[in-house]
Amino acid sequence: MLVGWRRRAPSCTLLRLPPVDAEPETGNIDVEDLKKKITKRTKAIVVTHIWGYPCEMDEIMEVAKNHGLKVIEDCSHAHGATYKGQLVGTFGDVSCFSLQGNKIVSAGEGGILLTNSQEIYERSTLLGHFRDRSQQCVCSNFYKQFAKTGYGLKYRMHVLAAALARVSLWKLDERIKTRTENLNYFSKLLSKIPHRTTNYQKLRYQRSILWVQAFVSE
């Protein structure tokens, strides 16, 4: 598995996963370095849309297709962001969104997993749920035998947290608009000061949530 986000360093070390270098412009996974790191043991690529900037998903998906690899998208910084008109989180085999307290859509804690794979969905359900929910959602003959007990773990979020996230989601477009306006305002104020910053207006991004924007003085 190849990963490209610094806070995965502990898991990389413990599981002996090779990290991939980041683009200096965006902080996202460097596709050219990704290609160099792939071996016959590689099974999946984990990409993080860092600070709300979408990764180069066309190139990443092409690499994954050529090598028969799964793609996992970490969209925790990028709720509502799009790459060439398509929402992040809809490219890979699995995507995840954090709902931690300072995210643009927040439940205080918890998160969301998305997939189009029925098998991954059922296995994930059994990891986090049991009894009623699992028995409703798990349909395949093999996994049905585990539906009542799950795998012995319970990771579902509190219903109050889910309610908070739902209300927060209703305001997503408004929050993205406000963040973009704030960024443009401060960018204009700082335009006369020599500095370097990420080119967030690249044409490949139809919408980025701009979770964090750094200005580095020259």
CATH number for the domain that contains residue 49: 3.40.640.10
In a domain, 145, yes or no: no
Tell me the per-residue pLDDT of 80-114, one tens digit each, with 9 for 90 and over: 999 988 999 999 999 999 998 888 898 888 899 99
Query: 60-64, 133-137, 173-177, 203-207: lowest mean pLDDT where?
Result: 203-207
Q: Pairing relation of β-strands 94-98 and 111-115?
A: antiparallel
If one compares 58 and 134, the residue with the highest pLDDT of the two is 58
Range scoring the smallest mean pLDDT among 39-43, 123-127, 181-185, 190-194: 190-194
- With bands split at pLDDT 50, 70 and 90, how would you rate the model's confidence at 218? low
pTM of the model as a whole: 0.84
Q: Which stretches does DSSP call E strand in the chain?
A: 2-3, 44-48, 70-74, 82-83, 86-87, 94-98, 111-115, 195-197, 205-207, 215-217
Query: What local confidence, expressed as pLDDT, does residue 203 receive?
Result: 42
Q: What is the mean pLDDT of residues 177-188?
A: 83
- Does 61 reside within a domain? yes
**Does residue 211 fall inside a structural domain?**
no
Residue recorded with tokens 């370097």: 196
Assess if residue 157 is contained within a domain.
no
Q: Per-residue pLDDT tens for 34-52? A: 999 999 999 999 999 988 8
Domain span at 24 = 1-98
In a domain, 16, yes or no: yes
**Residue 152 region by backbone torsions, left for phi larger than 0, else alpha for psi between -120 and 50, else beta:** left
> How many structural domains does the chain have?
1
Q: Is the pLDDT reported for residue 31 higher than 80? A: yes
Does a structural domain hold residue 179? no
CA angle 48, 35, 59 (to 5 degrees): 60
For residue 101, the model assigns a pLDDT of 84
Give the model confidence (pLDDT) of 2-11 as tens digits.
Answer: 555 556 667 6
Please give the Cα distance from 210 to 52 (Å, whole number).
5
